[in-house]
Amino acid sequence: MSSAPSPPPNRKAKSKTVNAMGIITIEKAGEHEDQEVTLRGWLYNLRESGKLLFPIFRDGTGLIQGVVSQKEQPDAFAALRGLTQESSVEITGKIRREPRAPGGYEIGVSRVQVLQRVPESEPYPIQLKEHGVDFLLDRRHLWVRTPRQASILRIRAETSRAAREFMDSQGYTLTDAPIFTPAACEGTTTLFEVQYVDDEKAYLTQSGQLYVEALAAALGKVYCFGPTFRAEKSKTRRHLTEFWMLEPEAAYAHLEDMMTLGEGLVSHIVQSVLRNRAREIETLKRDASKLEPVKPPFPRITYEQALEILRQHGHDVKWGDDFGGDEETTLSQQFDRPVMIHRYPASIKAFYMEPDSARPDLALGFDVLASEGYGEIIGGGERISSYELLLKRLREQKLPEQAFQWYLDLRRYGSVPHAGFGMGLERVVAWICGTEHVREVIPFPRMIYRVYP
RNA sequence: UGGGGCGUGGUCCAACCGGUAGGACACCGCACUGUUAAUGCGGAUGGUGAAGGUUCGAAUCCUUCCGCCCCAGCCA
């Protein structure tokens, strides 16, 4: 460490990015031009050209190219030559501007300390070339080290951060819904059953909605944000068995209030990512011009208007049909930003949806379809506030009345109109990142038949 | 659960109307003082998902099983 000099005391701004040991992060390297610094990280790749080595280091914040000359830095040259991919290293050297280096800066390495050398007999399994999905998923614990995956996870973090920031700014209080629940929220077929204390059975939550409805009657405007679980045997690019959902719920709110909240939320997230994670969007080669128009207002069309559009584009859909993937793709391709579809037939929506008083065959529900065919990212609407109607629907659905008594209480004691929605975090991130599958946008995806690693 | 597709060296693929299983990358060595998933030359390793059947002969054809991918249903 003695080889890394302390920064000059008169350069306060720059000293902020140097810790007490003189160690900096790669993303801040440009602020240390012509200074000698120390980096801690891993060897990402090593190119060789005669008596010159071009190691590329990564430290989690970025990549930087190093240069080592055998003539000028014989010790560093000897330490790096033949070093294996992903070996952990601490290096010291001078940062300099270099247009030939990726990123614009490089480090002239003068000192190398290898913390752990990856043995040649068992080289790091993930190459810089192409791999199949199954191979990568089996090694997800290593796959996350690649720049593309790290960028996706940073965008995921920014999405969560911006989502909470927006909800808080709108006066919503974060309230946490339970993970263990006594009964299904919508149906019982997709629940994960777990053994609870003694002989009791419990289920992993498939939605926090019923609970945030209770909390909305207590606090006014609330939201929950956490994992949810569905045991559906869906093996598509849009499904995970464990995924994260943000669910706002507001007392005295109506369908239109939620549509306005939803478009504001999605827009704030997208604009925050574009502003704060531009480098990651670049790494992913995601076309930012597709995301720039994502600002309020989003187009709002009724289910019946959507039917018209679909028929004009050759889809054979009848009133009462739900939209499949092809239909969603066609609808989303009509607009440069997400589209909101509202007032679906009540028969294809959940039991707790409030009917439209002007058209009782329609439910006051809405979906937000992401652009470019990415499909549904938000689903929600107004909830039934009448005790009698809710009880009738529970019986029609043959749901266990006993387990829903507390939910019925919300209609017994000061029932009010209220509304909310659920936003699937992974679907939003997959759309923003332009990934093929939602499994890439959660650190350790849980899918049907896959719980490793 | 239904429909479609696919399982070949460590990885990504080729051979698949039956006839000696091959390439690229990775790994090791040599060369190269500005490389950009470096390049050139050389080297070692090592494979037909499993079981059964047809055949002189099966990666190839048939049956069953296993695993994976995509789509549909359901949903975020």
**ipTM of predicted complex:** 0.88
Q: How many domains is chain A built from?
A: 2
Q: Using an 8 Å Cβ cutoff, are A47 and A63 in contact?
A: no
Give the domain CATH number at A349: 3.30.930.10
How long is the CA A75 to C1' B41 vector, in angstroms?
28
Q: Are residues A98 and A178 in the same domain?
A: no
Q: Which residue is nearest to nucleotide B26 (CA to C1')?
A: A127
Closest-CA residue to A76 (of A33, A34, A46): A46
- The Cα A291–Cα A308 span in angstroms is 27
**Is there a contact between A66 and A29 (Cβ–Cβ < 8 Å)?**
no
In a shared domain, residues A20 and A101: yes
Nucleotide nearest to A376 (CA to C1'): B76
CA of A232 to C1' of B53 (A): 38
Nearest nucleotide relative to A243: CA against C1': B76
Q: Is the dihedral of CA A108, A110, A114, A117 positive or negative?
A: positive
Is residue A121 assigned to a domain?
Answer: no
Q: How far is the CA of A7 from the C1' of B18 (A)?
A: 74
Distance between the alpha carbon (CA) of A49 and the C1' atom of B30, Å: 13
Please state, in angstroms and rounded to a whole number, the distance separating the CA atoms of residues A110 and A281: 33
The reply to whether A107 and A179 lie within a common domain is: no
Together in a domain, A313 and A347: yes
Q: How far is the CA of A449 from the C1' of B50 (A)?
A: 20
Instruction: Give, as ranges, the nucleotides of chain B with any atom within 7 Å of a protein CB.
Output: 1-2, 10-13, 25-29, 31-39, 67-76
Q: Measured between alpha carbons, how far is residue A319 from residues A304, A305, A306, A311, A358 in Å?
A: 8, 11, 10, 11, 18
Which nucleotide comes closest to A450 if you measure CA to C1'? B68
pLDDT (0 to 100) of residue A20: 56
Same domain, residue pair A209 and A296 = yes
Query: CA(A131)–C1'(B15) in Å?
Result: 21
Task: Give the β-pairing of A355-356 and A375-382.
Answer: unpaired
Question: How many angstroms separate the CA of A321 from the C1' of B1?
Answer: 21
A54: which nucleotide lies closest, measuring CA to C1'?
B35
- pLDDT of res. A9: 39
Domain of A27 in residue numbering reads as: 12-116
Q: Are residues A33 and A176 in the same domain?
A: no
CA of A445 to C1' of B28 (A): 37
Tokens (6 digits) for A227: 């994992």
Q: Tens of pLDDT along chain A (453 residues)?
A: 333 344 443 443 444 566 656 799 999 999 999 999 999 999 999 998 889 999 999 999 999 999 999 999 999 999 999 899 999 999 999 999 999 898 899 999 999 999 999 888 888 999 888 888 888 998 999 999 999 999 999 999 999 999 999 999 999 999 999 999 886 555 556 788 888 888 888 889 989 999 999 999 999 999 999 999 988 777 788 889 999 999 999 999 999 999 999 999 999 999 999 999 999 999 998 999 999 999 999 999 999 999 999 999 888 888 988 888 888 988 998 999 999 999 999 988 888 999 999 999 999 999 999 998 888 999 999 999 999 999 999 888 888 888 889 999 999 999 999 999 999 999 999 999 999 889 999 999 998 888 888
Nearest nucleotide from residue A108 CA, by C1' atom: B34
Instruction: Name the nucleotide nearest A207; use CA and C1'.
Output: B76
* Closest C1' nucleotide to A189's CA: B74
Task: Please tell me which residue lies nearest to nucleotide B28, judged from CA to C1'.
Answer: A120
Last-in-domain residue among A116, A151, A170: A116
- Verify that A225 and A94 share a domain, yes or no: no
Question: How far in angstroms lies nucleotide B26's C1' from the CA of residue A39?
Answer: 28
Residue A275 and residue A365 share a domain: yes
- SS3 sequence of chain A: CCCCCCCCCCCHHHHCCCCCCCECCHHHHHHHCCCEEEEEEEEEEEEEECCEEEEEEECCCCEEEEEEECCCCHHHHHHHCCCCCCCEEEEEEEEEECCCCCCCEEEEEEEEEEEECCCCCCCCCCCCCCCCHHHHHHCHHHHCCCHHHHHHHHHHHHHHHHHHHHHHHCCCEECCCCCEECCCCCCCCCCCEEECCCCCEEEECCCCHHHHHHHHHHHCEEEEEEEEECCCCCCCCCCCCEEEEEEEEEECCCHHHHHHHHHHHHHHHHHHHHHHCHHHHHHCCCCHHHCCCCCCCCCEEEHHHHHHHHHHCCCCCCCCCCCCHHHHHHHHCCCCCCEEEEEEEHHHCCCCECEECCEEEEEEEEEEEECCCCEEEEEEEEECCCHHHHHHHHHHCCCCHHHHHHHHHHHHCCCCCEEEEEEEHHHHHHHHHCCCCHHHHCCCCCECCECCC
CA quadruple A266, A269, A275, A278: dihedral positive or negative? negative
A165 and A105, same domain (yes or no) = no
